[in-house]
Amino acid sequence: MILTRLRCARVLQLTLAVIKPDAVAHPLILEALHQKILENNFIIVRKKDLIWRRSDSERFYAEHNERFFYQRLVEFMSSGPMRAYILAREDAVSHWRELMGPTKVFRALYTSPRTIRAQYGLTDTRNTTHGSDSSESAEREIAFFFPEFSVQHWLEMDEPCFRAGH
Ligand code: UDP
């Protein structure tokens, strides 16, 4: 399915953005990231605070289960509250990933110091945010975090032109 729709002369794409437990634990960082979403003209389609069981974390990161960081990542992502967003805007996937910056905080600091991970990331695991890396993974990841959300319904519905505040 193509996760785009035309609204108010904007071709909107959906992406999944997650604020990881390290950032949610700090209210000022959480607020700064929320503001960043709004300042960058994303429409917040859905927002949810949640805590993963270890099994959720294992399932979501299953493709990395051979990697050296897998256990650390799985444990961390189920260690405390997270905030997940379904975001919409033009080129939402690439725009959110640009705002996040490189996975590795060290690299982010040197190559893109104004990105979220450079500014707030602690380590390559505790790097504040997640973002889908393609429209296909956005569809899969939105279904993982928001099983009650119907992309089809969102694509078809006719909302007034406004930017949701939260
Ligand atoms: N990750 C990690 N240690 C590493 C590399 C990656 O914990 O050395 C984590 C990273 O924080 C991310 C996940 O593994 O949550 C998937 O990594 P990917 O390369 O897909 O990064 P992303 O798409 O989040 O930039």
- pLDDT in the model for residue 4: 65
The pLDDT of residue 156 is: 81
Q: Tell me: the pLDDT tens digits for 98-133?
A: 999 999 999 999 999 999 999 999 999 999 999 999
pLDDT at 5: 64
Is 103 near ligand 1, meaning CB less than 6 Å away?
yes
User: Considering Cα of 143, then 162, then 47, then 129, what sign does the dihedral take?
Assistant: positive
* HEC-encoded secondary structure of 14-77: EEEEEECHHHHCCHHHHHHHHHHHHHCCCEEEEEEEECCCHHHHHHHCHHHCCCCCHHHHHHHH
Average the pLDDT over 137-157 and give the result: 93
C-alpha dist (Å) from residue 76 to 41, 57, 110, 125: 30, 9, 25, 8
Which residues are part of a known binding site for ATP? 20, 69, 97, 103, 117, 127
Q: How far apart are CA 163 and CA 33, in angstroms?
A: 17
Nearest atom in ligand 1 to 72's CA: 7
CA angle (101 as vertex; 98, 103 as ends), nearest 5:
130
Res 96 pLDDT > 50? yes
47-88, pLDDT tens digit by residue?
999 999 999 999 999 999 999 999 999 999 999 999 999 999
Is this complex scored with an ipTM above 0.90? yes
**Positions at the binding site:** 20, 69, 97, 103, 117, 127
CA 84–ligand 1 middle distance (angstroms): 17
Q: Is the CB of 133 under 6 A from ligand 1?
A: yes
State the closest ligand 1 atom to the C-alpha of 102, by its place in the atom list counted from 1.
Answer: 25
Name which of 12, 32, 13 is nearest 23 in CA terms.
32
Task: Identify the pLDDT of residue 11.
Answer: 84
pLDDT band at 162 (very low <50, low <70, confident <90, very high): very low
Ligand 1 neighbourhood includes 127 CB (under 6 angstroms): yes
The finding on whether 130 has its CB within 6 A of some atom of ligand 1 is: yes
The Cα 140–Cα 132 span in angstroms is 9
Phi, psi at 141, each rounded to 5°? -75, -35
Catalytic residues: 130
Residue 160 has pLDDT above 50, yes or no: no
